[in-house]
Amino acid sequence: MASADGTVVLAAAGVRKRFGSLVVLDGVDLTVRADEAIGIVGPNGAGKTTLLNVLAGALRPSGGHVFLREVDVTAASAAKRCRMGIGRAHQIPRPFGDMTVFENVFVGAATGGRLGKKAAYSRCIDVLERCNLIDLANRRAESLGLLHRKRLELARALATGPDVLLLDEIGAGLTDAEAAELIETIREIRRQKIAVVWIEHIVHVLVQVVARLVCMDAGRVIADGEPDVVMKDSAVIDAFLGSEVA
Amino acid sequence: MLLEVQALEARHGLLQAVRDVSLKVAEGETLALVGANGAGKTTLLRTIAGGHRAAAGRVLFDGTDVTRSSAHKRVRMGIALVPEGRHLFPRLTVDENLRVAGGNGRKGPWSLDAVYAAFPNLEPLRRHRAGTLSGGEQQATAIGRALMTNPRLLLVDEASLGLSPVAVDGVYRSLQTVIESGATIILVEQDLRRAMKVATRISCMLEGRIVLEGTPSELTREAVVDAYFGLREAGTSQATA
C-alpha cells in the first residue's frame, strides 16, 4: 500500500503475554502507520483484545515492546499513553451513567487532551458533531440505547485527541442501518488523519473501512495484507472454520 | 415437524442477538449451526431450551407452543441442552451427575447403563468426581447427562470447544452413536468439516440471522465461508432484515 504519510505511529515488537501457563500472545509484531486503518480479525481466543490491551497500556506484556512514535512506551501507564495519543474504545461501553453525554466526552477531552477549558469545550462540540451525538449532548448517558452508547464510547476516545484510535468490536449488535452509520463515522475519523486499529468479528463491515487486515490465531499473526487476499488465505479460513482435511 | 422456530428474536439487554430466525427440524435430523463468534448460535439454542427468554416469535415443539414454558418443563417435554462449557457439578461423581438429570426427564431408552454403553470410556470413571475428569470425559458426561432425560431433541453447544483433537474425535464417536440411535440433534460446531460430516443439514448464522441453509451435499465450503464472513451475498439465501 502506498503511503502519503508512512510514519510509524504505533508498533508492537515481539509482544508476548502469558496468563499463568496460558500463552495468549506469542510474539506479535505489528506496525501501524499514521495514515492507516487496520482491521484485526481472528477466532475466539486468538489474542486480539489482549493485544489491544497491551497496546493501550491496560496490560503489561510478558515480553517485547510497544512503541509510540518510536518512543518505547512499554512501561508507560494507560493514562500516560492516552495523553501521548492512544485513544481506545471498548467492546462494552461503560459511560458515566449519571453524567450527560457532553460531560462524558468532556472527561475524555480533559483527561487526554492537554487542553485548556475553552479548547476542551470546543473539541467536545466538534467530536459530538462528528459522532452524530450533538442533539443528545444534554441527555444522561444511562438513558442511551446501544447505538448511541457505542457512539459515545467512540466520542470519548476521540475527545482525548488521539493519533491512533484502538477500537474493540464497536460494531457488534448493530442493525444494518446502524452499521452503515458507524462505517460513515469511522470514515470521517479517517479523514482527520487518525490511524485506526479495529478489532471486529463482523468482517464485512470491517472491510468497508480498512485497507489492511491482520488475522490472528493462537496468539500469533497468521496473515497481514489486503483484505481480499487475507480473507481468501486458507490458513485464515482454517483458523475460523477448522481445516479442510483431517 | 418436531421443532419449529418462527421469527424468533432474543436480546441481551440492548443487544439483539437473534434476529427473526425461523427454522424447522424434523424427527431424526441433525442440524449443524455454524457461524462466527457473536452470530447468535448459543443464544438461539438457549432460547429453544428455555434458558433464555424470547423477545418475540415462537418456539413450537411437536406442535405445542413452548415459547413461554420454563426450561425444566421443556426438559420434561423432551428438549435437552448440553451447554457450552459443560457446567457439570464438579464435586458430584459422574454417576451422580447423570442421576441428577435422570429424575427430571421423560421415560425412555436412556438409563445409566445405556449411557455407559454409548460412552464406554465413562464406565470406569463412574465414581470419580466430575471436576477431576479431562475435558473430553467431562463433555461425554455432559452429553450423557442430557441423554438421561430421554430427550426427543438434543441441543449440543460447542461440543469440541477447548478439547484436544483426540478428545474431539472421542466426543464425535459418541455423538455418532447417539445419532444412529435415531436422535434429533441441533449442534453448534465451529469446525466446518466435522459439521459437514455429521449433519444432515447446515445453517450458517451471521449477526443473529440465518444467512445460508442447505444439506452438506448442496453446500460448498466456499459458500459457507462467504456466508460465515458475510463477504458475498450472491449465491446465498440471504435473509432480509
Q: How far is CA A7 from the centre of its chain?
A: 19
Q: Report the C-alpha gap between A147 and A101 in whole angstroms.
A: 13
Q: Is residue B236 part of a domain?
A: no
Residue of chain B nearest A143, judged by CA positions = B14
Q: How many CB atoms are closer than 10 A to CB B232?
A: 14
* pLDDT class of B80 with cuts at 50, 70, 90: very high
Q: Which pLDDT does position A5 carry in this prediction?
A: 66
* pLDDT higher than 70, residue B237: no
Averaged pLDDT for residues B182-198: 91
Q: Which residues contact B233 (CB under 8 A, 6 or more apart)?
A: none
pTM of the entire predicted model:
0.82
Name the interface residues of B facing A (CB cutoff 8 Å).
14-17, 34, 36-38, 190-194, 207, 221, 224-225, 228-231, 241
The pLDDT mean for chain B works out to: 91
Averaged pLDDT for residues A218-232: 95
* pLDDT class of A182 with cuts at 50, 70, 90: confident
Residue of chain A nearest B165, judged by CA positions = A246
Supply the range of the domain harboring residue B74: 3-229
Q: How far is A202 from chain B (nearest CA, A)?
A: 7
State whether A244 and B16 contact (CB < 8 Å): no
The pLDDT mean for chain A works out to: 91
Q: Residue B134's closest CA among B102, B98, B170?
A: B170
Q: Which pLDDT does position B232 carry in this prediction?
A: 67
* pLDDT higher than 60, residue A94: yes
Q: How far is B11 from chain A (nearest CA, A)?
A: 10
Contacts of A246 in chain B (CB under 8 A): 193
* pLDDT higher than 90, residue A74: yes
C-alpha grid cell for residue B1? 415437524
The shortest CB-CB distance from B193 to any of A145, A176, A242 is to: A242
The shortest CB-CB distance from B194 to any of A145, A176, A242 is to: A242
Q: Which pLDDT does position B165 carry in this prediction?
A: 84
Q: What distances in angstroms separate CA A1 from CA A28, A37, A120, A227, B52, one per listed residue? A: 21, 11, 35, 12, 47
Residue ranges, comma separated, of all CATH 3.40.50.300 domains in chain A are 1-85+162-246
Q: Is residue B145 part of a domain?
A: yes
Number of domains in chain B: 1
Q: Is residue B240 part of a domain?
A: no
Averaged pLDDT for residues A43-54: 93
Q: Is residue B239 part of a domain?
A: no
DSSP designation for B240: P
Q: Report the C-alpha gap between A78 and A62 in whole angstroms.
A: 16
* pLDDT class of A216 with cuts at 50, 70, 90: very high
Contacts of B224 in chain A (CB under 8 A): 241
Output b/e per residue, A198-207; b: 16+ Cβ within 10 A: bbbbbbbbbb
Asked whether the beta carbons of A203 and B231 are under 8 A apart, the reply is yes
Largest CA distance in chain A: 63
Q: Is residue B48 part of a domain?
A: yes
Averaged pLDDT for residues A40-52: 93
* pLDDT higher than 90, residue A115: no
CATH number, domain of B47, equals 3.40.50.300
Q: For B104-177, where are the E strands, in sequence order?
A: 153-157
Architecture of domain A1-85+162-246: 3-Layer(aba) Sandwich (3.40)
Alpha helices in A94-226 (DSSP H): 101-112, 117-130, 146-159, 176-191, 203-206
* pLDDT higher than 60, residue B239: no
* pLDDT higher than 70, residue A246: no
